[in-house]
Amino acid sequence: MKPIILQGHERSLTQIVFNAEGDLLFTASKDHIINVWFTSNGERLGTFGGAVGGAKHNGTVWTVACDSESKYLMSGGADNTMRMWEVNTGKCLKVWEYETAVKRVAWSEDDELVLGITEQRQGQPSIIRVYALNREDGASQSDEPIQTITLTGSKATVALFAPLSDNILVGHESGKVSKYSVKTGEEVLVNEDGHRGEITDIQLSPDGTYFITSSKDKTARIWDSETLDEMKVYATETPLNSACIAPLRPYVILGGGQDAMAVTTTSQRAGKFESRFWHKLFEEEVGRVRGHFGPINTLAVHPQGKAYASGAEDGFVRVHWFDESYFRSRPFGDLEPEVEV
């Protein structure tokens, strides 16, 4: 499995996402720009916030999300803005400004809604805002959210829309996993000690009935989207920054590594900067992919399960197309769950 290495950022990666077809990869970085790449060959298609299109983030881009038609792109950054971009032109269509940085954005499954989480800082609480978008005319968007959820208690770090987009699934700094209603803005369900440390990533399964969270507590867990019941736990020996669920094969991919602060004091061996493949059902590690020399900050899997990509503190993105052997191999013999699509 020879990776395609994408070198287009001067600083560490914060979030990467595939589009629905898996032919494009959007990468957000601390160097203020978002790049988009052809996944098949690693060619850079363009930059959001580069010379063309302008209106680039004036600070770290913390988060990026693409709709299912690859028409619009949302991003949020440390310059206290959330931005909406047109994918095929790279034009910035709309800028929402807040008091604090935007840490996470997400689309609903029907592309009608987006959410953005703002950071808790300078006396400002952490807020999740939900906007209804005008999909016909991308440039004319409402400034006002349709719902504002102000979080009391532990701040939200990551969030996404549950299937049907009635609810938002939220991961908190305290390790709490909760569910908020879009309609009322109320917390409808909560699992107070889901994780023992900050939740760093949340990603949905292909059909949306379950989701995975990764945490600084060195575990990743799978949850029932409906009941927030914990289904599976993957315990590693390193703080995790990202986790995703591979379609087609019964694996989850976890990535992390020591804090960037501690990296300089240890060897690469000790850093554990590998992508780990775990069997989704048996909770056993089945393989590792090396290559990065900094902690992995973000992982994304090809929506059809043909590839995965990792973005790390070292500034590189590595796209791995799975070999034929990946699909054929049966590390646990003939025991296989039903294939999920």
Partner 1 sequence: MSQVNGYDHEEFDEEEQIDLEAELEEGYAEIEQKYAVDTQRGFENVLVVDNIPIVDESKKQRLVDRLRAAFEKNGAGIDEDRTNMPWDEKAGTNKGFIFLTYPDAAQAENALRSLDGLAFSKAYTLYVNRFGDIERYANMPVGEGELPTGWKEKPYVEKDHLRSWLADPHGRDQYLTFRDQDVNLFWNGRNGNAEPVRDADGKVVKNSKWGELYLQWSPLGTYLASLHRVGVALWSGPKLDGPIGVNVLRFTHPGVRYITFSPCENYLITWSDEPLPNPESHPLPAVREAFGPEDEGNQLVVWDIKTTRVLRTFATEPPAPGPDGVVRARPWESFKWSPDDAYVARCNVGQAIQVYELPEMGLLDKKSVKLEGVQDFEWCPMSDKDWEARKAGKGKECMLAYWMPEATNQPARVNVMGIPSRNVLRSKNLFNVTDCKFYWQSQGDYLCVKVDRHARKARTKKATLSNLELFRVRDKDLPVEVIESKDLVLQFQWEPQGNRFAIVATNDPAHGSGVPGAVVKYYVDIYQLDAKKGDFALIRHLDGKVANTLMWAPKGRFLVLATVGQTTKFDIEFWDLDFSTDDNPNSKKEVEPGANLTLLGTGEHFGVTELAWDPSGRYLASIASAWRMTSEPGYVIWDFKGQELVRNPQEKFKQFLWRPRPPTLLTKEQQRKVRRDLKDHSRIFDEEDAAEENRGSAEKLAQRQRDIAEWDAWRARNNARLAQARKARGKEFINKKNVSDQQADEKVEEWIEELIDETEEVIVSKV
Instruction: Write the single-letter amino acid at 216.
Output: K
Token pair belonging to 324:
């034929």
Give CA–CA dist 301/314, Å, rounded.
20
Single out the residue of 53, 208, 287, 291 in contact with partner 1 (rule: CB under 8 A). Answer: 208
For the record, the structure tokens of 54 come out as 């302008």
Q: Does 210 bind partner 1 (CB under 8 A)?
A: yes
Number of DSSP helices (H) and strands (E) in the chain, helices first: 3, 28
Taking the C-alpha atoms of residue 116 and residue 102, their distance in angstroms, rounded to an integer, is: 7
State which residue, 282 or 293, has the beta carbon closest to partner 1: 282
Q: Is the Cβ of residue 20 or residue 93 nearer to partner 1 in the bound state?
A: 20
**Is 231 near partner 1 (CB under 8 A)?**
yes
List all residues 6 or more positions away from 2 whose beta carbon is below 8 Å from its beta carbon.
none
Closer CB to partner 1, 224 or 323, in the complex = 224
Cβ neighbours of residue 172 under 8 Å, at least 6 residues apart? 151, 153, 154, 155, 156, 157, 178, 198, 199
- Residue 15-54 contact track with partner 1, rule CB under 8 A, x = bound: -----xxxx--------------x-xx-------------
Residue 127 Cβ vs partner 1, minimum distance, rounded to whole Å? 28
What single string gives the DSSP state of each residue in 161-206? EPGGGSEEEEEETTS-EEEEETTT--EEEEETTS-SS-EEEEEE-T
Largest CA distance in the chain: 56
Site for partner 1 in 118-157 (CB under 8 A): none
122, 174, 178, 190, 300 from 193: Cα distances, Å: 27, 8, 10, 9, 26
Q: How far is the CB of 72 from partner 1 (least distance, A)?
A: 14
Place of tokens 């992919």: 289
Nearer to partner 1, 68 or 124 (CB): 68
**Binding string, 256-275, against partner 1, x = CB under 8 A?**
----------xx-xx-----
Entry field: residues in the chain: 341
Question: Nearest approach, Cβ of 68 to partner 1 (angstroms)?
Answer: 4
Q: Where in 177-196 is the site for partner 1 (CB under 8 A)?
A: none
Q: Which is nearer to partner 1, 113 or 127 (CB)?
A: 113
Binder of partner 1 out of 132, 190, 281, 286 (CB under 8 A) = 281
> Of 10 and 336, which has the nearer Cβ to partner 1?
336
Closest residue by Cα to residue 138 from 175, 181, 83, 193 = 83
Pick the binder of partner 1 from 10, 69, 99, 144 (CB under 8 A).
Answer: 69
123 is written with which tokens? 């006396």
Interface with partner 1 (CB under 8 A), residue from 46, 304, 321, 322: 304
Residue 338 touches partner 1, criterion: CB under 8 A: yes
Check residue 287 for interaction with partner 1 (CB under 8 A): no
Residues of the shown chain interacting with partner 1 in the complex, contacts defined by CB under 8 A: 20-23, 38, 40-41, 68-69, 109-110, 163-164, 206-210, 218, 224-226, 231, 237, 266-267, 269-270, 281-282, 303-304, 306, 332-333, 335-338, 340-341
